[in-house]
Structures are given as C-alpha cells and as structure tokens.
Structure 1
C-alpha cells in the first residue's frame, strides 16, 4: 500500500465533486451534519482556519460500488477517479452550502429536518471584534425568517435588493464566478450614492472572498493497489466521528460492484426476516455475524481440501468472494435455524436469555457442515456439552474468531470420533463464582437460569413448567427467592442475597404476589389465597432445586449452601465434567463449609 499527499484548492475539490470525478464508496453512511455544524464550518473557512485533512482512495483498485455526493445529480453517473474515505461530512457540507446552488437539507440540534441557505453578514465578517460564527446566517428556503407562526417577518433576503440593503452575501455564490460578479455589480449599483460601499465591497473581496478562493485542503490519497482489508482499517482509524465501518457495509459495497451487482443489504434483510420469524433468539445475529459464519465454513472446507489454516477474522471475511457466499448461504441459514431450535430445547428463547450471541456463529457453521449427521441424540448431546462448556466456562466473552476456528475443527472431529474439543477441556467453573453472578451481564448467570428452566422450573403458583409460550406470555424473568426487601431488613450480605443462588425464573405475576415478605409468609399466602396444596408447592419448589425445608424456615444461610451445591451439580450435568474446588479453602471461606452433599 502506498499513498500521495497534496493540497488541492477547495474550489477544485468541490468542482470534482460536482463533475462526479470524486464520489463516495457505497459503504459510507449518509450525510448527517446539522445546521450549527455547517455554520461553524463556513466560519472556519472564512478565517482560513484548518478544517482537517481528507483522505481519498484512487479508484480502479478494490471494486467498491460508488455513489455521488448528496446534491449531485448526474445521469448517467460517470466513473469516479477518487473515492472519499475520510471527510465525507465536511466535503458534503461545503459542497451543498458553497457550490450546489440548492437549499441545504439539514436538521436542527433537536433533529428536525429543515432546508437552509447561508449568508455572510459582510459587516460582521470585517469586524475583528465580532464573533465570526455569528456572521454566518442560516435562513429557510423561503429566504424569510419569521416568528409568530409565520405571521411576523424578522428577516427578508428573498430578493437581491434586500440582500444588498442588509449587506448579506449569499454563500452559494462564492464559487460561482459569474453569479458572484453579477451580485457585486448589483451591490455597487444599489449603493451607487454611497462612496463608502465601494471600499466596503473591496475589503470584503480581499479579506473574505479571497480566503475561500485560496483555501487549500490537506489531502492524502491511497493508491489503487491498497487491499480491501487495509481500506477498512484505515477508514476506522481516520474516522473520528465515532462511525464504525462494519465488515457488512464494506462487503455490501464490494458485492454491489461485482458482476451482477448483488445487493447484500436486500439479501440480508429478507434473510433476517426469515430467521427471526419463528426464532426470537436469532435477532442476535446481524449481517456481519452471518458473513463470519459463511467465512468460517468456507475456510474449514478449504482446510479439509488443502490443509490451510482455518480462520474467520475480519481480514478473512473481507476476502470472501460472491460465489463462495452464494454457494454456502442457504446451508448457513439452515444452520442458524437448527441452532435456534437446539437453544429452544435448552429454554433459551430470546436474545435477553442468550448467554453468548457470538457462540451462535460456530454452532451454525457446525450444523451446516454436519447436515443430517447432527440429528441423532448422541451427536446432540456432544453439541450440548460443547455449548454449555463455553457458557459456564465463560469462554466466549472476548475476541472470539480464534475460538470459532478452533471449535469448528475440534467439534466436528469429536463427532467423528476424535478427542474432546479444547473448549470442553478448558472449561472451568469456580464454586465461589456463584456469588459474583449478580446480573444478566454475566453469561453464566443467564446460563444457570436456562438450566433451571430446563430442569423443570415450575411456576410457584400455577405449577406450569416454562416453555416458549409461558415464557413470553407470562413475562418470565429471573427473580429473588428470598425477597430483596426481606434480605435488606435482615441485613444479609448483598453478595449473597443478590447472587444467582437466590434467584429463580418466575412469572411477573408470581413475583408480584411474593412481594417483599419472608418465604414462610409468602408460601403460606400462596397455599391459602391461591389454594395450592403444601405438597404440591414443595414439588414446584423442588423443580428449582430449592431446599424446601430451609426456605419454609426462613433459613437463608442453610438455603444458600444447599442450593449452591445443587447448582454446581446442575453445571456438572450440563458440561459433563466435575466442578473442582468444592472443598477448597476459598469455597469454605465463601460459604462457611464445603459444597459437597
């Protein structure tokens, strides 16, 4: 990759935009600057203040679909010579306000859409004591500023004569030589009886107008040999406005420029609708995730054929070809649907209850690779062991592309009779971690809630097990078993009562009925008011692995230790391996005893 530096005149830069020589790559976002930003930019130009460098990409290398700048209408659009990587907002603002001759479609600070023309208060521009931003005036498309719901005109510049009278110069004429010359002649004629006006106009020409003509724009131009992944990295590093370029946007522009002009955005929108029609949990999958899954499968199959490394990092996704995408997209779509079906069996129904959205990527790719081979229960149990090892071992919380590739190879090989995947071997859950699982921010917290629902998790009042219908209709969530209010009154340690050990999936209605009372009180109320037999209620509690005797006796300390033991047993069942450290010094200190039955 190489680059050139230059300082083209602002006039030439805007001319190239108008001619279509300079365009935007289609992955650039829409233009969003508001009215105040535009006025500030014009003020900076009038003072010859630096406005920052812009970055161009020489066209002809990476095949990005181009698009014209906002306000440029050329039919047909010519092939661009350069594409803008950094500076879109500034260049668009300058083109629309200074060069297009059109009202600028912008917005207020509050986001309301407006259309504006801009004027320079010539007197304020020449006053060294005046605030230059106050010298830039924004007026509606009607060229009249009104108040009282349009009944009172505060400023009228709708005719040249009114502009001459108020000495307000249209910004749109600054780079229009003929238009500006005619406007100056009109100004001189209007003020013909005032000798001071001629000197005033000359000063404005020399001190303000000339600054615009001489303004240079620092520019860096990447040459056409710049690879696609480098463009992506450069774009993100130079964009200081907080706009992150996603792989999906970059690939959308790339596929659009390919033979046949494939519209990845339309394809994904339709696919996303199909994916989420029956599976709320797949709302966690975005376009970039889908492309990553396709790349993972492409790389894995290439590995099988050529023994190349398996990888689905950002740079690998950016090298994905349209034929590769088209060849595997249907298999991956089916893979994601099968992944969602597996999670539904595990009582994970939506994005809120999904421990790791990222884990869907290798799971879908594995399903796509296995096809019908994944149907037998023995294969499903291996997939579940791998899934729960990733969740309870909290192994999918960081940069995961390396683990995606590792699991893709390991899990498929395991199913074919190979060794346990490294994710299964690496997974480890420390008993004391139960106390620090306090909210949905932790994947293991959501994982335990799902495991409890899978274990039976009957509602305290209705006795109905939680399935996909009751989960959504009854607004099931994770609530305290010993209510928060009661725990705080007893001055129990928050670390204990707010941990996952004291939580259970309950319907909103049941949680309200429990209120903030002691367990002995709310259990008695359930039996009396809701007419639930004590034995039945004990059975409902048992499905949540709740030590019934300790709960009925308001024995929080005994409850905490016994339920912690039960939750560790549940984790062992899911991961297929023992939880170490049940009787370690750390565990005994945290729970007042070993966590063994």
Structure 2
C-alpha cells in the first residue's frame, strides 16, 4: 500500500516523535528523511511495520478491502505512526473508535489531498494525546463537509467518493438480486463494482443533468449480475424484473434498497429528483456518523438550488 519513500517518511516521523517526546519540533519533511540516521531507521522501522499492520486491520474494520479503494494513501503514513505510538492500546474499542473518527474526518474534510507533511506531524502528536484523554486533534476540528460536494463526486478519483462506498458497506448494503451482504467474500467473488441506480441510458433519455445522475448520489456497490438485470431500464421496470426473476417479495426488495440509503417509494415511482434528495440526505447521515460532526447547510440556499429542495429528512418527506 505504501511506496518505499512513504515508509521512510513514516519511520522519520516516528523517530522524530520519539526524539522530541511528542512535543514541538516533530517533523518528517524531505530534509528530515535525508538526515535519518541508520541506527534510528533500524530501531523504528519494525515499530512502523507493526503500526502499519494495525492500520490495515483498522481499514478492514472500516470496510476498505483493497488498496485501490483507499481514499488517501498519504493518510496511511500518520495512521501507521499513530498506531505505532499507541501500541497495545490499539486493541481497545474506544481507541479504534477515535482512530476511525480521525480517519474519516481526514477523508471527508479533504485534509490529506495536498501539503500533508505538516499535518502528518501534528496528527502524530495530537491524535495520541486525544486518545489519552486530551483535546480533539486539529484534523477533527478542521473537518467539514458541504452538502453540494456530493454532486461533484463523479468518479473514484475523489477520496470522499471512495469513502462513501466504504460507509455503505459498513451500513450493511445488500445486493439487489441476491440479497447477499456486499462484504469481503462477495466483493472478491461476485464482481462487485459501482453502478448507477438510475441507469445512464435512462437518464440520458430523460435529459437529466449529468452532474446529478453521474454523481455518487446515484451510484451503489452492486454485483455484475445485478447490473445486467438493471440494464438501461427505468427503475420501476428493472425492480419488477428482479422481483419476478428472483421470486422476491416487494417488501423484501424494499428492505434491500433501504440498506443503500435508497427510498423505495421514490425509486419505484421513477421520481429521480425525490430519490436524489432522499439518497443525498441519507449519505450525509452516514458522513455525520463516521466523523462525529454535523453536516452544516442541509437547507442552505446553495443546497436547495443544487438539489431542488432541502436535504433535511423531515422536509424531504413532504415533497412530491
């Protein structure tokens, strides 16, 4: 998951943290990496390896199963170092919960996209202190997510896009056709990929705005078999087809749709805009749960203009 240069950066960061005893002056800039002494490398590299193994366990716990689905590979550097610093405390549920919260704040706050060396350093100092009962780290305090960003998340190039797919797996999303949990075994065996809920062909025919139908709000992790069943049909058509071919009761399919934060009524009525608002509100709920922070602006003018209405759940329920 990490390049050799990233591993060296992580070792440098841990060595600096040990040298400074977690105080000011912790750094892992390029010049610091070049100054890393051999004895420091030999002393701290095994610790970083163990920390990265713990980090991998945390990612699996958060339903990130493959390297290509890691939102920010750069965030693995401080995560591995923090896991090295907390040591055996990593096994405590409360510690893993805080690490996960910090991790998702970094992802959805877009805080590890660029100029990250300084953040590596203060996270390596502040997160262990927070785990020990101190104040929240800056990354948690700085994190925010604007609702309209959902529409800009169009591909896997977006870290938050990858993050939302992982949160849907955490939610217990089920496959439309098989009803199986989209977990590790299904992920590797049945060709899980990200597919449109309102199919591209249908959306083009209806002339829906691309920024809406191609956004993460209209996408879900599904098997290749389900994607073939969906085809290019309207949701009302493919849902009926799935029920018939799978001998599935409508009530059961509705339950499955809800595991993806999809409103069954809107989908069955081919009500694209209502579906979009319901789904967007549900995805924002997942982000709030992961980061432990409220998403501000669900009913702002910008949000209402972008989605055609508020993303506050109670307000959506009254919309046509």
TM-score bracket, normalised by the shorter chain, equals over 0.9
Say yes or no: does 1:323 pair with 2:39.
yes
Say yes or no: does 1:297 pair with 2:18.
no
Superposition map of 1:270-349 within 5 A:
284-304=1-21, 307-349=23-65
Q: Distance in 2 between matches of 1:308 and 1:388?
A: 25
Q: Indicate the structure with greater helix content.
A: 2
RMSD: 1.0
Q: Residue 431 of structure 1: which of 144, 147, 155 is its match? A: 147
Q: Residue 396 of structure 1: which of 66, 88, 112 is its match? A: 112
Q: Distance in 1 between matches of 2:79 and 2:181?
A: 27
Task: State how many pairs are aligned.
Answer: 313
Deviation, 1:513, is 1.7
Q: Is the 8 A contact 2:54 2:90 kept in 1?
A: no
Q: Is the 8 A contact 2:10 2:81 kept in 1?
A: yes
Say yes or no: does 1:516 pair with 2:232.
yes
Superposition map of 1:53-202 within 5 A:
none
Q: Distance in 1 between matches of 2:182 and 2:60?
A: 11
Q: Is the 8 A contact 1:457 1:466 kept in 2?
A: yes
Deviation, 1:399, is 2.2
Q: Residue 409 of structure 1: which of 118, 121, 125 is its match? A: 125
Q: Distance in 2 between matches of 1:538 and 1:352?
A: 31
Q: Is the 8 A contact 1:302 1:308 kept in 2?
A: no
Give the 3-state SS of the residue equivalent to 1:478 in structure 2: strand
TM-score normalized by structure 1? 0.52
Q: Indicate the structure with greater strand content.
A: 1
Q: Distance in 1 between matches of 2:191 and 2:114?
A: 30
Q: Distance in 1 between matches of 2:152 and 2:113?
A: 16
Q: Distance in 1 between matches of 2:311 and 2:241?
A: 32
The residue that corresponds to 2:205 in the other structure is 489
Deviations 1:259-316 (A, max 9, x none): xxxxxxxxxxxxxxxxxxxxxxxxx2111111111111111111117x5501001111
TM-score normalized by structure 2? 0.96
Q: Which has the higher contact order (CA 8 A, sep 6+)?
A: 2
The residue that corresponds to 2:309 in the other structure is 593
Q: Which runs of 5+ in 2 are unaligned?
A: 314-320
Q: Distance in 2 between matches of 1:456 and 1:468?
A: 12
Q: Distance in 1 between matches of 2:74 and 2:190?
A: 28
Deviations 1:39-82 (A, max 9, x none): xxxxxxxxxxxxxxxxxxxxxxxxxxxxxxxxxxxxxxxxxxxx
The residue that corresponds to 1:164 in the other structure is none
Q: Distance in 1 between matches of 2:190 and 2:120?
A: 36
Give the 3-state SS of the residue equivalent to 2:78 in structure 1: helix
The residue that corresponds to 2:316 in the other structure is none
Q: Distance in 2 between matches of 1:400 and 1:479?
A: 32
The residue that corresponds to 2:134 in the other structure is 418
Deviation, 1:582, is 1.1
Q: Is the 8 A contact 1:550 1:558 kept in 2?
A: yes
Q: Is the 8 A contact 2:258 2:264 kept in 1?
A: yes
Q: Which runs of 5+ in 1 are unaligned?
A: 1-283
